């Protein structure tokens, strides 16, 4: 896997007139992972969106080398298409031969995405992310909706990505069982 890097420098996030957090900095290199922790509403999802360029920080800046892929609550799969077609669409767009992590979807490929359960949709989103070929994974609450088995499978896919030199940033209020995981609590960056 080619070199990748993700760094945030003195990031602050404002929602309306309220500053959610400030002074947040980190640097991640190949094989590293960061767990963004904190209670609901503290800005974990906003930070993930800042990192991938969907939101602008109130101040500070982000630098990255390598492609990024985002998995959040917005399912990027066509709800009206069978799952197999929806995933194939992203394979063509990404033009990547990324990981084919097993998320137990083989029996669901002919089911329209809109009929999938919450956990099945989460597994489909993670499968799309794993197949993207992106070197930097940004995951917002990746374990929500997953049972213990598939939660462990999701974490194994993250570990495999890191073992190949990828980077992962995981925003979650749930504990994670990843090795050598750096934890950053957004509570430490309140204004």
Domain ranges of the chain: 5-189
Q: In this predicted structure, what is the pLDDT of residue 102?
A: 84
Query: Which residues make Cβ contacts (< 8 Å) with residue 56, sequence separation at least 6?
Result: 50
- Ranges under pLDDT 70 in the chain: 1, 96-100
Contact 171, 48 (CB under 8 A): yes
Q: In this predicted structure, what is the pLDDT of residue 99?
A: 59
As a whole number of angstroms, the distance between CA 139 and CA 70 comes to 6
Torsion angle, alpha carbons of 85, 86, 90, 93, to 10: 70
**CATH entry 3.40.50.300 includes domain 5-189:** yes
Q: In this predicted structure, what is the pLDDT of residue 141?
A: 95
- Tally of residues, the chain: 191
Q: In this predicted structure, what is the pLDDT of residue 97?
A: 59
As a whole number of angstroms, the distance between CA 175 and CA 82 comes to 33
Q: In this predicted structure, what is the pLDDT of residue 101?
A: 77
pLDDT digits (tens, 9 = 90+) for 84-107: 999 999 888 887 655 567 899 999
Q: In this predicted structure, what is the pLDDT of residue 31?
A: 97
As a whole number of angstroms, the distance between CA 114 and CA 48 comes to 25
């Amino acid at each position: 896997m080619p070199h990748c890097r993700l760094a945030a420098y003195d990031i602050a996030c404002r929602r309306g007139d309220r500053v959610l957090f400030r002074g947040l900095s980190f640097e991640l290199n190949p094989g590293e992972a960061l767990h963004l922790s904190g209670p609901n509403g503290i800005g974990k999802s906003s930070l993930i969106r800042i990192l991938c360029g969907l939101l602008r920080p109130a101040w500070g800046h982000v630098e990255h080398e390598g492609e990024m892929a985002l998995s959040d609550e917005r399912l990027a799969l066509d709800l009206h298409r069978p799952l197999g077609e929806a995933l194939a669409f992203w394979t063509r767009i990404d033009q990547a031969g990324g990981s084919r992590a097993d998320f137990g979807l083989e029996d669901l490929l002919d089911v329209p995405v809109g009929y999938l359960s919450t956990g099945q949709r989460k597994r489909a989103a993670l499968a799309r992310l794993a197949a993207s070929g992106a070197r930097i994974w940004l995951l917002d609450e990746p374990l929500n909706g997953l049972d213990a088995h598939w939660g462990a499978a999701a974490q194994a896919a993250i570990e495999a990505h890191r073992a190949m030199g990828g980077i992962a940033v995981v925003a979650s209020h749930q504990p994670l069982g990843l090795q050598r995981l750096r934890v950053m609590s957004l509570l430490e960056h309140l204004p």
